[in-house]
Structure 1
Amino acid sequence: MIAVLLTASPAVAEQSTADPVRVMPLGDSITQGGSIGGYRLDLGTKLRAAGRSVDFVGSLSDGPSSMPDRNHEGHPGWTIAQVDANVVNWLRTYTPRTILLHIGTNDMYGSDPAGAPRRLSALVDKITAQSPSAEVFVSTIIPIRFADATVRNYNAAIVPLLRAKAAAGKRVHVVDMYPAVPISDLPDGIHPNAAGYSKMAAVWFNALSAVPGSIGDPAPPQPGGPCTATPVVTGTWNGGFQGEVTVANPAASAISGWTVRFTLPGGHVVTQIWNGVASGSVTVTNVSYNGTISPGGSTTFGFIASGSGAPAIGTATCSSP
């Protein structure tokens, strides 16, 4: 169940529509997500698959080396007050268009859990005062095995406070995260496993998708068609790998010329290519002798990429004039 409250629509944050939408994951260790990247891993994947151009921002960088975007403001062990003491500087530095706030877990077993809703309310007021055009998504916190009643009381108290801010015209959206993650997905009773983080990612994605502008607009379909591109890693070594992409024409008529676009999530760069011409990050067009593909036919191009991350090729798209 996801509760998303839409506010009125004042001017949006100052950001060119051509730029990726800056999204700040904000909170404690549940936002940081340990070595697996938390919910940020699957959320980034969902956003890219939906054609959204998003840039996670923050002073920290964590997650697997193959994770394309690792930035965030998830500080392990931090309370609401600690985030409150630093948030203005982060907002000034990174100017996020959208903020994902999951905070309060460490307050639940601190000295004053009853005061946590008031502290959260003050934190959200500080965020909206500093960044009034940002979309601020505030979630209820996920369960804690040994403090479930305290968590439930906190969640019940913050929802009406946040709804009141939205009703007053602030760009605050309530996301009900608590039901999404069962206790069985919390190995230590506090932090989700990969399955739990994936469920969190789905809730965030659905909430973001319901608020126009919070993650930009879907990328327009590539012109032309109907070619397809299928990439594969064909060899690896320390510091690089070799890849091959098959460009196929499933249509009933020939195509003349093709363009393939893909990413290298591990941070690699293409250093050599054959049977194609590479530009940007990464766009490949045909050479003179393999641009025409007959119905049901295919051609291939290959490349060598250098870098220290895990060898990987992102989803490839193909278009033809």
Structure 2
Amino acid sequence: MRLLNRLAAPLLAAVLMTGGLTLSAAPAAAAAPAEQQAIRIMPLGDSLTFGKGDKTENGYRNWLFSWLTLSGVDADFVGSQSDGTGTDTGHEGHPGWRIAWLTRHVDYWMSTYKPQVVLLDIGTNDLIRNQANGSTQRLGKLIDRIVAADPDVKIVLAKLLVVKHKNAREFRAFNAKLAKVAARHPRNVTLVDMSVIPASDTVDGVHPDQDGYQKMAFQWYQGLRRVLPTGRSFQPVASPFTSGR
């Protein structure tokens, strides 16, 4: 959660004209400055949300927050956890957690932090620990709970980074089913693809290094461009996939 003060919104200058409305001859008083409401974004997941593999523990979060700020998006990362060295370190990234463990707590997090956008990256620990059976059904139940808590919430759902592990085939099978999971809530869920990040951008075949986290941030950024309110002018960000990294 940010430690910075909210940015003041610009003063409104338009005069509303409607038929049948009689205006006084007296000059209208200047509109009072309005406080711009930050968009509450909850990074939700496991150690890849926490930032394991990055010495700063910023993971993708600091890259993403910086790009949103440059685009004029007043974002507030929310959650019970605070890790890293960035401007806004709030998150719900829990190393080692599986899908069902998030589900047990998500009602509380949703009611406490009231995120408008959830960045959901979960399932890696289920698959590594041979819990692939029923994993997408469990993910669907987690998403159901999030949407039940706020029918207007936007969920950016990540296809998993395919780990360098004996269960890599399970990751590809899991990712192939996510479009169907997302289709249950088409108004709420948008998919982004983390499987395009190569294993060479990890420190151990599972957790990204700084290059890998920058690429994750880029994928989240592209997803947020699709779900945040229209009328925002997003600054182009150089793709780390084509910058020789």
> Is 2:84 the partner of 1:63?
yes
Q: 1:47 aligns with which of 52, 63, 68?
A: 68
Query: What RMSD, in angstroms, separates the aligned Cα atoms of the two structures?
Result: 1.8
Q: 2:206 aligns with which of 190, 195, 203?
A: 190
For structure 1, which runs of at least 5 residues remain unmatched after alignment?
A: 1-15, 220-321
Q: 2:192 aligns with which of 175, 189, 193?
A: 175
Q: Is the 8 A contact 1:121 1:161 kept in 2?
A: yes
Q: Distance in 1 between matches of 2:204 and 2:146?
A: 31
Cα shift at 1:217? 3.6
Query: Highest Rg: 1 or 2?
Result: 1
TM-score (norm 1): 0.59
Gap change, CA 1:20 and 1:218, over 3 Å in 2:
farther
Match of residue 94 from structure 2: 75
Q: Distance in 1 between matches of 2:82 and 2:131?
A: 30
Q: 1:153 aligns with which of 173, 178, 188?
A: 173
Q: Distance in 2 between matches of 1:31 and 1:141?
A: 12
2:200 maps to amino acid? S
Q: 1:53-132 residue pairs with structure 2 within 5 A? A: 53-64=74-85, 67-132=86-151
Cα shift at 1:118? 0.7
Question: CA-to-partner distance for each residue in 1:269-308, whole Å, 9 max, x for gaps?
Answer: xxxxxxxxxxxxxxxxxxxxxxxxxxxxxxxxxxxxxxxx
More strand by share: 1
Question: CA-to-partner distance for each residue in 1:77-112, whole Å, 9 max, x for gaps?
Answer: 000000000001000000011110000000012242
Question: CA-to-partner distance for each residue in 1:122-175, whole Å, 9 max, x for gaps?
Answer: 110111111111111111111110122110011112221212321xxx411111
Q: Is the 8 A contact 1:121 1:158 kept in 2?
A: no
Q: Distance in 1 between matches of 2:113 and 2:81?
A: 12
TM-score (norm 2): 0.76
Q: Is the 8 A contact 1:23 1:55 kept in 2?
A: yes
Question: CA-to-partner distance for each residue in 1:18-57, whole Å, 9 max, x for gaps?
Answer: 2111000000000010333111010011111111100000
Structure 1 vs Structure 2: percent identity of aligned residues? 39
For structure 2, which runs of at least 5 residues remain unmatched after alignment?
A: 1-33, 235-245
More helix by share: 2
Question: CA-to-partner distance for each residue in 1:249-273, whole Å, 9 max, x for gaps?
Answer: xxxxxxxxxxxxxxxxxxxxxxxxx
Q: Is the 8 A contact 2:50 2:57 kept in 1?
A: no
Choose 155-164 or 190-199, whichever is displaced more. Answer: 155-164
